[in-house]
Amino acid sequence: MFSIIGIILSLLMMMYFAYKGVSVLLLAPILALFAVLLSGEISQLFGFYTQIFMSGLGDYVVKYFPLFLLGAVFGKLMEDSGSAQSIAYSLVQKLNGNNALLAVVITCSILTYGGVSLFVVGFAVFPIAAAIFHTANIPKRLIPGAISLGSLSFTMTALPGTPAIQNMIPMPFFGTNAFAAPGLGLIGSVVMFTVGYGWLMYRVRKAKIAGESYGENYHTQEKDTEEHFPALWKALLPIILVVVCNYIFSKLIPLMNTEYLSEAKYGKTKLNNVLGLWAIIGALVISCLSIIMLNWSRWKNLKETLNKGTMGSLLPIFNTASEVGYGAVIASLAAFSAISHFLLNISASNVLISESIVISMLVGSTGSASGGLSIALSMMGQYFLQLAEASGIHPELLHRVAAMASGGLDTLPHNGAVISLLAICGLTHKSSYFDIFMVTVLAGLLGLVVVIILGSLLGSF
């Protein structure tokens, strides 16, 4: 009983202290060992830390570091070359102020679908969003919701081919690639976008009826204009290359001789376990090189850009890896089998529902889509796969449900991305979080439910 209480208290404290801004690098090992103490296994404390926590952390870094590194470098190249701003300015100009809301959502969607991180998107889009929302007299408090819909929902978990880490994590567990269950992913994306955009439009209409304006805290600033940035085609090409090259590599690599992977020095692995990772690594490398070459004359200090992108990858991956180490410790405790048995038995007859419940609980507790998803699949990914095979469910469907489940409860108030976005916009949870909740949590869960129902009835497509 104390062990179960320890796990629950540990998760609650993880949520509380993460919301308060305490680094997960400290939280994860401390709270993992707290759960061990309450389980009564005090004599094994050091073993839990060095052999289980650190092993879980290290395995995650070894597996996913190239994706975090290349993704961060890609985002920094897009930012420093002016490509991200070029896309934002161009779309806003073409959609004009009458479509201010749509302009912001589509801009964020294109940037994040191309692999640009939320933080780059937030800094690049917010000044433009503020200007057009002010012109259209739409309340500033709705900007975080618009940015969240474009960057923290369907482009992160549902759209097939997205290079978001949430779409990458399931690949080695299920032997899939980034385009898993493309039809269901597209349907889920449409549901999420429709619900989220419909909600924001409703909020805009309601504000106009009430006579609410942008607000009193808008200050014009001298900003770069569109002509200072690369041409739109130059800005969009690297994003297109990420998706296209990812698909090409996923089809081309299996035609190569990869029998050497069965050798001991390569871990006696199978191609399906690494194919998805290889494909996105190759795509990101080509896309990064394309940004550099297309903007060769624009670089003020390319070395500094590359160095900043590289360093920018370290904190995100170690934060997530620490959460994975935490999950490895929790999963090794005897009481966890009772908790997992309870969660799985909520819908024992449908592995898709069980999988989504477990992942949703963990991403909600940790406040991290990638962290909670990694913990869940590290603990139970193989078990989900065995249940799916026994039920005739294709691994691609497991992949898509897992990715989409990670994007539901992750954006609760303590989520780091939510806190950062509100800080960028100069707003508070009180003024803007409800809209973020509606376009990410509610819309995300509705999209997930639709995909589970269709997948259960029709299978993967």
- Asked if residue 221 belongs to a domain, the reply is no
Domain total in the chain: 1
**Gyration radius of the chain over CA positions:** 22
Instruction: Please determine, for residue 226, whether its predicted confidence score (pLDDT) is greater than 70.
Output: no
Over residues 35-43, the mean pLDDT reads 87
Over residues 162-191, the mean pLDDT reads 93
Residue 312: both structure tokens together: 């920018």
Residues 269 and 222: their CA atoms lie apart, in Å, by 55
| In the block, residue with structure tokens 């061990």 | 36
- Asked if residue 312 belongs to a domain, the reply is yes
- Asked if residue 255 belongs to a domain, the reply is yes
What pLDDT does residue 198 have? 97
Over residues 109-121, the mean pLDDT reads 79
Confidence of residue 221 (pLDDT cuts 50, 70, 90): very low
What pLDDT does residue 423 have? 79
- Asked if residue 217 belongs to a domain, the reply is no
Confidence of residue 148 (pLDDT cuts 50, 70, 90): very high
Looking at the chain, the whole-number percentage of residues with pLDDT higher than 90 is 40
pLDDT tens track for 380-426: 888 899 999 999 999 999 999 999 999 988 888 767 778 778 877 88
Using CA of residue 353, residue 354, residue 355, residue 360, what is the dihedral sign? positive
pTM of the model: 0.78
Residues 259 and 262: their CA atoms lie apart, in Å, by 6
Over residues 75-100, the mean pLDDT reads 78
- The domain containing residue 454 runs over which residues? 1-212+227-458
Cβ neighbourhood burial of 142 (10 Å; 0-12, 13-18, 19+): buried
Instruction: Please determine, for residue 348, whether its predicted confidence score (pLDDT) is greater than 90.
Output: no
